[in-house]
Amino acid sequence: MPETISTILSPEGSLEVLSQHEVNRLRDTSAKGLHDLLRRCALAVLNCGTPTDDGRQVMETYRDFDIEVLQQDRGIRLKLTHAPAEAFVDGKMIRGIRELLSAVLRDIVYVYNEIQTQHRFDLNTGEGTTNAIFHILRKAGALKPSRDPSLVVCWGGHSINREEYEYTKDVGYHLGLRDMDICTGCGPGAMKGPMKGANVAHAKQRRYGGRYLGISEPGIIAAESPNPIVNELVIMPDIEKRLEAFVRVGHGIIVFPGGVGTAEEILYLLGILLHPDNRDMPFPVIFTGPASSADYFKRIDEFLAYTLGDEARNRYRIIIDDPAGVARAMLEGIDEVAEFRRAHQDAFYYNWRLNIQRDFQEPFEANHQAMAGLALHRDQPVHTLAANLRRAFSGIVAGNVKEAGIKAIEAEGPFRLHAEAELMTRLDDLLNSFVAQGRMKLPGSAYVPCYTLT
């Protein structure tokens, strides 16, 4: 067993006071309680820096870990039992980890009290969902009305190779030299590299208050624990709200090499941008990586051209092995975003104008019936096809790394996807290329597909 520490500490940075009802909900270990969610997310934060992406392994390694919220005269205290020792220095919790732990508590309590159990937001409508996401981000302090557009969202794989990781750092460095901030899924790999590079550049430029915003969700945080550079953490209730948060707060998106999860994000983004209401809205999107990853983007580009057409291709640029060129192109694109929003009197900090259809907002539960029922054919609007393809890739991600998806595969076998013949062939080729490139291989074992195509 790894070394652990038990201690009692105060939250720092947010939510130092809770009602007795909130405390009771966080202690409740029943199916309706929040204790299990708090325990899983808290352990992910405390376990940051560990290379594993197997959430169940983390829970098994620290099966004796527990967290309890104590109500005291001067506010609340957190009682940690058998917490990972790596989160402490000489018995004292690292301050950044303590802040992230407080963010976990804040988001779990706020989402439950204000979003899920109240009738303030109608989550069955697009307007209600977008408004709820705004309020979660505002509660977290992630909306900065005093700043000009500068937030670059970076997507990519959490288990990329060393050369690709170093490239993400180089891109982040050149973004940071140009006064841009970074937002990622907050995990390792392509989510950490841009933050690390930008952090060094911000120090060189004496740019204080640099933003390293991480947006996660409970189903995946254990597999992608926050990296140590994250200084703002937001945990959205599900993957769909996480994705919408990215495109609402970001001013441009860079996609690094990845696997199925990255393909899911690409399809989500392009599906939104291809909607007729959004076609004239500037939003810079760049696919980039070192020369060795050129084939990855070639395969992605070919698949997108076949499924979504040349219009989709016009919404992104592919720039290979040129970190400075990526940063310059992104800066130019963000300048266009700023001019557009000024002209339309839109907020810089939250993109209200972007039309996101319900297909992209409704939570998708990856089970065998839902996966088999996806409409994977080209006889439908391109943004609708993109939504269904995104769900297919989301289900594969769930089968790879999410506890519920892994259990479903173990119980009933691989998910079954039904697609028209040519699309199925191209989808199969793309997924096989991910396997061949080692992009769907989990640490410690050869990848066994969690899906079949029929």
pLDDT tens, residue by residue, 164-214: 999 999 999 999 999 999 999 998 999 999 999 999 999 999 999 999 999
Rounded to 5°, the CA angle 183-164-282 comes to 40
The answer on pLDDT for 152 being more than 70 is yes
Span 411-430, average pLDDT: 88
User: What is the token pair recorded at 198?
Assistant: 């930008």
The enclosing H or E element of 390 equals helix 382-401
Q: Are 289 and 297 in contact (CB under 8 A)?
A: yes
Question: What residue segments make up the domains of the chain, in order of their start?
Answer: 4-118, 150-454
Q: Which long-range contacts (CB under 8 A, 24 or more apart) does 16-25 make?
A: 16/75, 16/76, 16/102, 17/75, 17/76, 18/69, 18/71, 18/76, 18/109, 20/71, 22/109, 22/113, 23/69, 23/70, 23/71, 23/76, 25/109, 25/112
Angle in degrees, 0-180, between the axes of helices 260-273 and 239-249, rounded to the nearest 10: 60
* Predicted confidence (pLDDT) at residue 436 exceeds the cutoff of 90: no
Sign of the four-CA dihedral 339, 343, 346, 351? negative
Residue 50: band (very low, low, confident or very high) from pLDDT cuts 50, 70, 90: low
CA distance 39 to 79: 11
pTM of the complete model? 0.91
Residue (of 255, 268, 261, 245) closest to 390 by Cα position: 268
Is the pLDDT confidence value at 428 over 90? Answer: no
DSSP string, 254-285: EE-S--HHHHHHHHHHHHHHTSGGGTTS---E
- Listed residue (403, 363, 359) closest to 238, CA to CA: 363
Q: What is the mean pLDDT of residues 37-65?
A: 80
Which residues on adjacent β-strands are paired with residue 255?
155, 287
- Are 432 and 451 in contact by the 8 Å Cβ rule? The answer is no
Residue 113: what pLDDT? 83
Q: Do domains 4-118 and 150-454 have the same CATH topology?
A: no
Supply 416's token pair: 């079954």
pLDDT > 70: percent of the chain: 95
For the ranges 47-56, 192-201, 207-216, 345-354, the lowest mean pLDDT is seen at 47-56
Sheet with 285-289, side-by-side order of all strands? 232-235, 212-216, 181-184, 151-155, 252-255, 285-289, 317-320
Residue entry with tokens 């652990």: 4
Looking at residue 210, its amino acid is G
Binning pLDDT at 50, 70 and 90, where does residue 137 land? very high
4-118 in CATH: which number? Answer: 3.30.1850.10
Q: Is the pLDDT of residue 274 over 60?
A: yes
Residue pair 248/347 in contact (Cβ under 8 Å)? The answer is no
The answer to whether 392 and 266 are in contact (CB under 8 A) is: no
* Rounded Cα–Cα distance for residues 184 and 196 (Å): 12
Residue 443 has pLDDT above 60, yes or no: no
Return the H-helix or E-strand segment holding 434. Answer: helix 421-436
pLDDT at res. 421:
87
Tens-place pLDDT, residues 244-267: 999 999 999 999 999 888 999 999
The whole-angstrom separation of Cα 108 and Cα 41 is 9
Asked if pLDDT for residue 449 goes beyond 80, the answer is: no
Q: How far is it, in rounded angstroms, from Cα 347 to Cα 343?
A: 11
How far, in Å, CA of 394 to CA of 263, rounded?
A: 9
pLDDT at residue 14 in the model: 64
The residue that leads in pLDDT, 353 or 224, is 353
Average pLDDT over residues 77-92: 93
pLDDT value of position 51: 58
**Both structure tokens of 377:** 């054919």
Query: What pLDDT was estimated at residue 1?
Result: 67
How confident is the model at residue 445, as a pLDDT? 56
The span from the CA of 108 to the CA of 42, in Å, is 11
**Order of all β-strands in the sheet with 75-84:** 4-9, 75-84, 66-72
pLDDT at 15 over 80: no
Cross-strand partners of 451? 415
Q: Which residues contact 110 (CB under 8 A, 6 or more apart)?
A: 15, 136, 139
What integer best gives the mean pLDDT of the chain?
90
- Separation CA 202–CA 191 (nearest Å): 17
Q: State which CATH number among 3.40.50.2000, 3.40.50.300, 3.40.630.10, 3.40.50.450 fits the domain covering 150-454.
A: 3.40.50.450
Distances (CA, A) of 161 to 129, 158, 167, 193, 299: 37, 9, 10, 12, 18
Q: pLDDT category, 54, cuts 50, 70, 90?
A: low
Q: What is the pLDDT of residue 214?
A: 97
- Tell me the per-residue pLDDT of 210-245, one tens digit each, with 9 for 90 and over: 999 999 998 888 778 899 899 999 999 999 999 999
Closest C-alpha to 199, from 241, 231, 233: 231
pLDDT digits (tens, 9 = 90+) for 363-398: 888 899 999 999 999 999 998 999 999 999 888 888
